[in-house]
Structure 1
């Protein structure tokens, strides 16, 4: 994987929590698993969530992100929207994308904006499909939660903004990442990510 591709596809924020469960995932490319794709999940709770619609060449696929639990599903839904917001900002090369500030806060927001700016400065945008799976939520206080999840980014690529050329790297264990995040629910009821870490090639996510 090229240095630019690693820059584009891996978000590293400060102050993240580490996953407590690093058991290997059997069959990461699961069959028969329900998936959801962008646009982001809708919400009518009055929080004013921005509508995020990814461009046609970018797709986020979420496996197992609706557990049917009224406590954890809102955390998962806002985390899904945060991921879509990030990838939308990457696809547009726009570190000032307003939805970033809606779903990130604190150091995580600073890190996300810097990450998008670095990709912009490198002259690349995101294209392709990213798969997110095995989410695990821990609500440890009324307005505080941690979320870990895996991603497969071997079908997501960097594309030159100038030429449109797509750089495709071979799929390896480094195409799989473990993300660990911390979220806080704000006064509007939005679960904002305030810390995020990623670990490329983590055995909890590789097949």
Structure 2
């Protein structure tokens, strides 16, 4: 599979700074949220991970994160069955990338289950940057303010925020976390486009992110 470098790849190798574009794609301030159509971000409040609660007929691969890696999803349910299915697979996609990073495997099959097209290339390339730098990840990332727009039967957009102030790059050999201070750049706004596969899985086909966006910062 041919991979394309992410704009942040060189910066990561040089600084080992905050991780997440680790949720899976482009972290470029020049790519704003309106490049992928979506509604305004929603409300906060905590709810269980939809990956654990949503029902689905499709048999999905098991993804178990290490004990020191946690993804928390706040208000990640709407009560609408279709929107909740989108959110469930989006959360599984986020877990899948963390899983591939901690395993150090850019060709981890679970990535292709939840990503496609440019988003898949970007996710695999980002995992490869961790592998080359001999790094992994640790800590907790919180995802909040999701907003879903199902604009066709098999197409949707999703915007959401993340807080990475308690998630860090970790040296793979020593296990030491490279902690960084919390700033506005610890908050990201993600804009994604998803397409429903023939198997019924909502796959992320495009993903942009912007650090320090006012929609996500306190």
TM tier, smaller:
0.7 to 0.9
Cα separation, 1, equivalents of 2:75 and 2:183 = 23
How far 1:21 moved relative to its partner?
2.7
Q: CA deviation at 1:70?
A: 1.0
1:147 counterpart residue number: 158
| 1:66 is aligned to 2:77 | yes
| Matched residue, 2:172 | 161
1:123 to 134, 138, 157: 134
| Partner-residue secondary structure (3-state), 1:36 | coil
Pair 126,69 (structure 1): closer, same or farther in 2 beyond 3 Å: same
Residues 49, 203 of structure 1: CA spacing in aligned structure 2 closer, same or farther, 3 A cutoff?
same
State whether residues 41 and 81 of structure 1, in contact with CA within 8 Å, keep that contact through their aligned partners in structure 2. Answer: no
Compared CA separation, residues 37 and 191, structure 1 to 2 (3 A)? closer
SS in 2 for 1:94: coil
1:74-118: CA deviation from partner (whole Å, max 9, x where unpaired): 000000000000111112221111110000011110110000001
Question: Bigger CA drift: 174-183 or 92-101?
Answer: 92-101
1:41 and 2:60 aligned: no
2:40 pairs with one of 9, 21, 24: 21
SS of 1:188's equivalent?
Answer: coil
Offset from partner CA, 1:110-132 (integer Å, 9 cap, x none): 11000000111111101000000
Map 1:1-207 → 2, pairs under 5 A: 3-6=15-18, 8-10=19-21, 11-13=24-26, 17=36, 19-21=38-40, 33-37=45-49, 40-41=51-52, 45-207=56-218
- Residue pair 1:104, 1:194 contacting (<8 A) in 2 also: yes
CA distance in 2, matches of 1:48, 1:22: 30
Contact 1:13 1:195 in 2 (8 A): no
How much has 1:43 moved relative to structure 2? 6.1
Partner of 2:6: none
Q: Quote how far apart the aligned CAs of 1:197 are.
A: 0.5
Matched length? 198
Change (3 A) 1:147 1:116: same
| TM-superposed deviation, 1:12 | 2.9
Deviation at 1:64, TM superposition (A): 0.5
| 5+ residue gaps, structure 2 | 1-10
The CA RMSD measured in Å over matched residues stands at 2.4
TM-score (norm 1): 0.87
